[in-house]
Amino acid sequence: GENVEQHPSTLSVQEGDSAVIKCTYSDSASNYFPWYKQELGKRPQLIIDIRSNVGEKKDQRIAVTLNKTAKHFSLHITETQPEDSAVYFCAALGQGGKLIFGQGTELSVKP
């Protein structure tokens, strides 16, 4: 069935370093890929999304890259700050127009 694999499940970086989270998807027809940030006990918040007609999108310290041939996309956070610590989820649009979520990556940024 459709699925989205997300790696790593946990990631620890020093403040100021970069963090990269990777996702692969199974449905080659997927054309929409959002990323959500969820702080403990709170709602997921959309931080960036990308559509299949572009290969990269940036928003300040956050960027997402998409490789449709390999069916994978990645989140890049530069100059990490302690407030970036959270769980990050990737998702891909599956068959029937439903979002399929990855399992999440717990990012810890150490001061």
Partner 1 sequence: DGGITQSPKYLFRKEGQNVTLSCEQNLNHDAMYWYRQDPGQGLRLIYYSQIVNDFQKGDIAEGYSVSREKKESFPLTVTSAQKNPTAFYLCASSIILDRGYISNQPQHFGDGTRLSIL
Using CB under 8 A, list all residues that contact partner 1. Answer: 4, 6, 31-32, 34, 42-46, 49, 51, 89, 93, 97-99, 101-104
Q: Report, in Å, the least distance between residue 16 CB and partner 1.
A: 28
Q: Is 54 exposed, middle or buried (0-12, 13-18, 19+ CB in 10 A)?
A: exposed
Q: Is residue 41 within a helix (H) or strand (E), and if so which, with residue range?
A: none
Residues 6+ apart with CB under 8 A from 97: none
Q: Report, in Å, the least distance between residue 85 CB and partner 1.
A: 16
Q: Which is nearer to partner 1, 31 or 78 (CB)?
A: 31
CA distance 45 to 49: 11
CA distance 57 to 43: 24
Q: Report, in Å, the least distance between residue 37 CB and partner 1.
A: 11
Q: Which is nearer to partner 1, 18 or 95 (CB)?
A: 95
Q: Which is nearer to partner 1, 51 or 110 (CB)?
A: 51
Q: Which is nearer to partner 1, 4 or 86 (CB)?
A: 4
